Amino acid sequence: MKKIIVMGVSAGAGKSTLAKKMGSILNIPVYHLDTLYWRPGWVEASPDEFCTAQEEIVQQSEWIIEGNYSSTFEVRFPHADAIVYIEKPLLVCLYRVVKRRIQNHRKTRSDMAPGCEEKLDWAFIKFILTTYANRKKIMAEHCEKFKKTKKVFILRNERDIESFLEELD
């Protein structure tokens, strides 16, 4: 595995954490889609800028790209040789998003763009709640589709994640 997509059912699934650990074990650069999409002050990049940044990354010989952004799946998926999908329960994802907000108060996480301090608002919680079930279905369909041509790993709990990381080591 040299070109890896790490995606998840929701915010708070553990995508960034897993991607960082994988990058360290495999010595492959990790790219967080949030850092490509957001500009300082939570300003969105243009669709062209966002796609172009990803197109440059996927031309490299090895990478781990973390994040969902389904609108640009077609930029990443054809180039990937492996997909790692994390499907944690909704309540776990919500808990982790709240925990992350508390732990990173007035800070910008390393997997976010500079100038985007951690925040949590009702719109984001509502987004998680209203998209979780549909995203779970869509992600399962993507994983099933790509099993024919790529390595696909579906991780549903911490035990799955630990076992997966141990096998990489």
DSSP state of 46: P
> With bands split at pLDDT 50, 70 and 90, how would you rate the model's confidence at 3?
very high
Q: Count the helices and strands in the chain (H runs, E runs).
A: 7, 7
- With CA atoms as reference, report the closest residue to 34 among 18, 48, 9, 15: 15
* Mean per-residue pLDDT, 47-61: 97
Residue 18 has pLDDT above 90, yes or no: yes
> With bands split at pLDDT 50, 70 and 90, how would you rate the model's confidence at 109?
confident
Report the mean per-residue pLDDT for the chain.
Answer: 94
> With bands split at pLDDT 50, 70 and 90, how would you rate the model's confidence at 22?
very high
Listed in sequence order, the DSSP H helices in 79-157 are 90-103, 122-146
> With bands split at pLDDT 50, 70 and 90, how would you rate the model's confidence at 89?
very high
> With bands split at pLDDT 50, 70 and 90, how would you rate the model's confidence at 105?
confident
* Mean per-residue pLDDT, 88-104: 93
**What pLDDT is stored for residue 30 in this prediction?**
98
Listed in sequence order, the DSSP H helices in 38-117 are 47-58, 73-76, 90-103
Percentage of the chain lying above the pLDDT 70 cut: 100
* Mean per-residue pLDDT, 84-101: 95
Percentage of the chain lying above the pLDDT 90 cut: 83
Q: Please check whether residue 98 is in contact with residue 18, taking contact to mean a CB–CB distance below 8 angstroms.
A: no
**What pLDDT is stored for residue 127 in this prediction?**
94
**What pLDDT is stored for residue 106 in this prediction?**
79
Whole-angstrom Cα distance, residue 148 to residue 154? 15
Residue 26 has pLDDT above 90, yes or no: yes
> With bands split at pLDDT 50, 70 and 90, how would you rate the model's confidence at 107?
confident
**What pLDDT is stored for residue 111 in this prediction?**
86
